[in-house]
C-alpha cells in the first residue's frame, strides 16, 4: 500500500510527513514524498528571457526532498519525487491516482491562530476534488508513533453507511479499537432526540456488518464504542470529547460531492477547525482497496 505525501519544505510539509509515518507504521505501507514545482506558463511573458531558473529550482527541490526523507525513520520505506504542474492540488491528485495510492497525506497549514486547523489553499482544493481519501495533519503534528485508535464521524445522512463500512474494515485491518462519534450542535436546530436516532442507526448498521462477517476475522475485533457528543456548537461538541494523542478521525465527504470525489461540507469544515487530532476525509462512495 502506498501513501502519497504532498511535501513542502516548511512546517506544513513536516506535519504531513509525521502523520504519514504514523499511518504507515505497523501497516506495511510505503510513502511517496511528492514535491510539486510550478510549471511556468510561457504566456506569463517573462522578460528578459532566461532559461536557467528551472535548474536552480530543481536542485533546490532535490535538497528539500532529501531533508524530507531524512525525517522518515528507518523502519518506513519512502521514495521522493519531483513533479511539475500548474496547480499543486491537481498534480498531487494525478500522482495519487497514477500510483494507486491509498491516501493523500498533507499538512493543513501553518499559522492558524487559536484554531488548530486553518485550511491552506492546496488542502482546500484537495478536499474539494480528491478521488482518494485525504489525510490532514493538524498544525504542529509531531507524533510518528503508530495510530492507537480510529474514530469515525457518523450520522444518518446518505453515505454514512458506506463510511461506516470503510471504518470497520480499516479498524479490523489495523487491529485498532473503533469508536463511532456523533457530533451534534444543538443551536443548529438539532433536537436531543436526533442523537438517539443516530445511535440506534449506527448500532443497527454495526450489527448488520458483524452478521455479514460472521466466521471471518471479524469475531476477533472488539465491540466498537459509540459516543454522542453534544454542544451548543459543533466546535464545543468536538471539545467535549476526549481524544487520544494517537487517535485519528475518519469523516465522510459532503452530500454535495460528486460520485467518488471528496467535498468538505460545512459541518466537516467546522469539525476540522476544532479538532486536535488528524483526520481523514473519505470520498463519497469510496470503497477500500484490499491491501
Partner 1 sequence: MSTAPKTVQSKETSSLSEKGLKAGSVGLIGAVVIGVSCIAPAYTLTAALGPTVSEVGVQLPAIFLVGFIPMLLVALGYRELNNAMPDAGTSFTWATRAFGPWIGWMGGWGLIAATIIVLSNLAAVAVDFFYLMLGQIFSNPELADLSKILPLNIATTLVFIALACWISYRGMETTKGVQYVLVAFQLLVLGWFAVSAFIHVANGTAFDATTISPDWFNPFAVDSFSSFAAGVSLSIFIYWGWDVTLTMNEETKNPEKTPGRAATVTVLVIVIIYMTIALATLSFAGVGETGLGVGNPENQSSIFAVLAGPVMGPFAILMSLAILSSSAASLQSTFVSPARTMLAMGHYRALSPRFGKISPTYKSPSVATVAAAIAAAGFYVITRTVSENALWDTITALGMMICFYYGITALACVWFFRAEAFSNARSFFFKFLAPLLGGVILLVMFVKTAMDSMDPEYGSGSSVGGVGMVFVLGMGVILLGVAVMLVMYRLRPEFFKGKVL
Distances (CA, A) of 211 to 100, 153, 207: 31, 22, 6
Q: Toward partner 1, which CB reaches closer, 107 or 265?
A: 107
Q: Toward partner 1, which CB reaches closer, 120 or 252?
A: 120
CB of 113 to partner 1, least distance (A): 18
d(CA 233, CA 212) in angstroms, rounded, equals 37
For residue 280 the three cell numbers come to: 481523514
CB of 209 to partner 1, least distance (A): 38
CB of 275 to partner 1, least distance (A): 23
Q: Toward partner 1, which CB reaches closer, 33 or 250?
A: 33
Q: Toward partner 1, which CB reaches closer, 109 or 262?
A: 109
Between strands 279-282 and 247-252, the pairing is: parallel
CB of 74 to partner 1, least distance (A): 7
Task: Identify the helix (H) or strand (E) that includes residue 46.
Answer: none
Grid look-up 461506516 returns 164
Distances (CA, A) of 22 to 130, 221, 229: 22, 21, 27
For residue 50 the three cell numbers come to: 532566461
Which residue from 224, 191, 230 is spatially nearest to 205, judged by alpha carbons?
Answer: 224
Give, rounded to a whole angstrom, the gap between the first and last alpha carbons of the chain. 6
User: Buried (b) or exposed (e) across 153-172, using 16+ Cβ within 10 A?
Assistant: bbbeeebbbbbbbbbbbbbb
CB of 63 to partner 1, least distance (A): 10
Distances (CA, A) of 84 to 11, 57, 129, 266: 21, 11, 19, 32
Q: Toward partner 1, which CB reaches closer, 1 or 226?
A: 1
DSSP states of 54-73 as a string? HHHHHHHHHHHHHHHHHTS-
Q: Toward partner 1, which CB reaches closer, 69 or 213?
A: 69
CB of 175 to partner 1, least distance (A): 26
| Interface contacts to partner 1, rule CB under 8 A | 8-10, 12-13, 37-57, 60-62, 64-66, 69-70, 72-74, 77-85
Q: Toward partner 1, which CB reaches closer, 31 or 198?
A: 31
**Phi and psi dihedrals of 187, rounded to 5?**
-75, -10
CB of 123 to partner 1, least distance (A): 12
Distances (CA, A) of 95 to 131, 135, 175, 181: 12, 15, 29, 32
CB of 109 to partner 1, least distance (A): 10
Q: Toward partner 1, which CB reaches closer, 41 or 290?
A: 41
Distance of CA 107 to the CA centre of its chain: 9
Amino acid at each position: 500500500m502506498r501513501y502519497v505525501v504532498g511535501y513542502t519544505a516548511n512546517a506544513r510539509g513536516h506535519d504531513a510527513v509525521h502523520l504519514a509515518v504514523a499511518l504507515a507504521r505497523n501497516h506495511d505501507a510505503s510513502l511517496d514524498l511528492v514535491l510539486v514545482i510550478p510549471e511556468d506558463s510561457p504566456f506569463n511573458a517573462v522578460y528578459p528571457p532566461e532559461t536557467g531558473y528551472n535548474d536552480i529550482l530543481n536542485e533546490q527541490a532535490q535538497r528539500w526532498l532529501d531533508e524530507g526523507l531524512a525525517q522518515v525513520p528507518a523502519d518506513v520505506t519512502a521514495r521522493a519525487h519531483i513533479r511539475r504542474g500548474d496547480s499543486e492540488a491537481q498534480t498531487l491528485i494525478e500522482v495519487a491516482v497514477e500510483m494507486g495510492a491509498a491516501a493523500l497525506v498533507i499538512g493543513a497549514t501553518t499559522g492558524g491562530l487559536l484554531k488548530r486547523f486553518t485550511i491552506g489553499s492546496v488542502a482546500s482544493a484537495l478536499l474539494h476534488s480528491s478521488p482518494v481519501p485525504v489525510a490532514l495533519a493538524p498544525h504542529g503534528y509531531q507524533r510518528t508513533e503508530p495510530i492507537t485508535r480510529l474514530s469515525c464521524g457518523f450520522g444518518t445522512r446518505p453515505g454514512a453507511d458506506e463510511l461506516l463500512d470503510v471504518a470497520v474494515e480499516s479498524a479490523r485491518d489495523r487491529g485498532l479499537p473503533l469508536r463511532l462519534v456523533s457530533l451534534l450542535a444543538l443551536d443548529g436546530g438539532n433536537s436531543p432526540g436526533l442523537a438517539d436516532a443516530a445511535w440506534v442507526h449506527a448500532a443497527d448498521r454495526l450489527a448488520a456488518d458483524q452478521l455479514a462477517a460472521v466466521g471471518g476475522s471479524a469475531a476477533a475485533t472488539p465491540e466498537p464504542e459509540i459516543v454522542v457528543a453534544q454542544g451548543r456548537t459543533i466546535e464545543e461538541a468536538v471539545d467535549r470529547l476526549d481524544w487520544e494523542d494517537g487517535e485519528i478521525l475518519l469523516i465522510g465527504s459532503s452530500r454535495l460531492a460528486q460520485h467518488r470525489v471528496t467535498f468538505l461540507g460545512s459541518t466537516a469544515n467546522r469539525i476540522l477547525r476544532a479538532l486536535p487530532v488528524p483526520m481523514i476525509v473519505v470520498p463519497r462512495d469510496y470503497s477500500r482497496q484490499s491491501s
